[in-house]
Amino acid sequence: MDNVQISKMTISDLNEIENILFSDFDDFWNINVFKNELLNPNSKYIVAKLNNKIIGYAGIWKSVDDVHITNIVTAKKFRRQNIGSILLSNLIQMAKAENGITSITLEVNSNNISAQKLYEKFGFKVVGLRKKYYNNTDDAIIMTLKMKDMPQSMRNTCE
Ligand SMILES: CC(C)(COP(=O)(O)OP(=O)(O)OC[C@H]1O[C@@H](n2cnc3c(N)ncnc32)[C@H](O)[C@@H]1OP(=O)(O)O)[C@@H](O)C(=O)NCCC(=O)NCCS
C-alpha cells in the first residue's frame, strides 16, 4: 500500500485509538497504558494512517543495549496488505537510530503464527521460550534480531 503515512503517536491519536481499540484492534492495552507510554522517555510509538485514519500502530522500549518491541498491530481489515511490514521496518529504523543498540527483542505468543512469520521475514530468530507467559496458559517465544546479523540491504535502509 503506497499512500500509508507513518507518524509519531501523539496524545491526540489516543482518542481515535480508544474508539477503535476494542472493535478493530486486538485488546492489547487499555488507553491509560498508552497515555503512560507516551510520557515515558524510553518508549516510542508510531501510527500508520491511511487517508488520515489510523490503521495500525507499533512501539518500542529502549533499555541499555536492546530495543524491545512492545506491540505491533494492524487493523483487521487492512491485514495482509504490508502494513505490519511497514510498521516493523520503521521500528527497526528507530532502533538503529538509538545509540549503542545491539539487538531488537520481543515476545510473541507461540500460537500467533502470523506475527512469528512477520518477524521471521525480517530476520528475527527464536532465542528462547517463556512457559505459560500469557495468562498463565500460552507460552511466549522470544525472538531477536541482532544488528550485526541484519541483511546489508536493511542496514542501508535503516541508516
Ligand atoms: C501480526 C500482524 C501485525 C501482521 O500485520 P499485517 O499488516 O497483516 O502484516 P503484513 O501484511 O505486512 O505481512 C507481513 C508478513 O507477515 C506474515 N503474515 C501476516 N499475516 C499472516 C497470516 N495470517 N498467516 C501467515 N503469515 C502471515 C507473512 O509472512 C507476511 O508476508 P507475506 O504477505 O509476504 O506472506 C497482524 O496480523 C496483527 O495485527 N495481528 C494482531 C496483533 C498481533 O498479534 N501483533 C503481534 C504481537 S507480538
As for ligand 1, residues whose beta carbon falls within 6 Å of it are 26, 71-74, 79-85, 106, 108, 112-115, 117-118, 121
Index of the ligand 1 atom closest to the CA of residue 118:
16
Query: C-alpha distances in angstroms, 39 versus 20, 46, 81, 137, 139?
Result: 22, 14, 31, 31, 30
Q: Whose CA is nearest to atom 5 of ligand 1?
A: 84
* Domain architecture of the chain: domains with CATH: 5-158 (3.40.630.30)
In this predicted structure, the answer to whether residue 158 has a pLDDT above a threshold of 50 is no
Atom of ligand 1 nearest to the CA of 81: 11
Q: How far is the CA of 76 from the centre of ligand 1 (A)?
A: 10
Residues of the chain above pLDDT 90, percent: 77
Average pLDDT estimate for 16-44:
86
**Residues 6 or more apart in contact with residue 131 via CB below 8 angstroms:** 139
SS3 content of the chain, % helix, strand, coil (to 5): 35, 35, 30
Rounded mean pLDDT of 54-77? 95
> How do 66-74 and 138-146 pair as beta strands?
unpaired
Q: Check whether 159 has a pLDDT greater than 50.
A: no
pLDDT in tens, 143-156: 999 988 876 666 54
pLDDT mean across residues, the chain: 91
Q: What separation in Å is there between the alpha carbon of 151 and the centre of ligand 1? A: 20
What are the tens digits of pLDDT across the range 84-115? 999 999 999 999 999 899 999 999 999 999 99
**Lookup: cell for 127:** 532465542
Residue 31 above 50 pLDDT? Answer: yes
End-to-end CA distance of the chain: 23
The string of DSSP codes covering 18-62 is: HHHHTTTS---S-HHHHHHHHH-TTEEEEEEEETTEEEEEEEEEE
Nearest CA to ligand 1 atom 10: 82
Question: How many whole angstroms from 72 Cα to the centroid of ligand 1?
Answer: 10
Of the pLDDT bands very low, low, confident and very high (cuts 50, 70, 90), residue 157 is very low
What span, in angstroms and rounded, lies between the C-alpha atoms of 39 and 48? 20
Query: Long-range contacts for 52-55 (Cβ within 8 Å, ≥24 apart)?
Result: 53/16, 54/13, 54/16, 54/17, 54/20, 55/4, 55/83
Instruction: State mean pLDDT over 135-147.
Output: 95
The pLDDT-based confidence of 26 (bands split at 50, 70, 90) is confident
Q: Among 47, 54, 118, name the best residue to mutate to test ligand 1's pocket (greatest count of ligand atoms within 8 A of Cβ).
A: 118
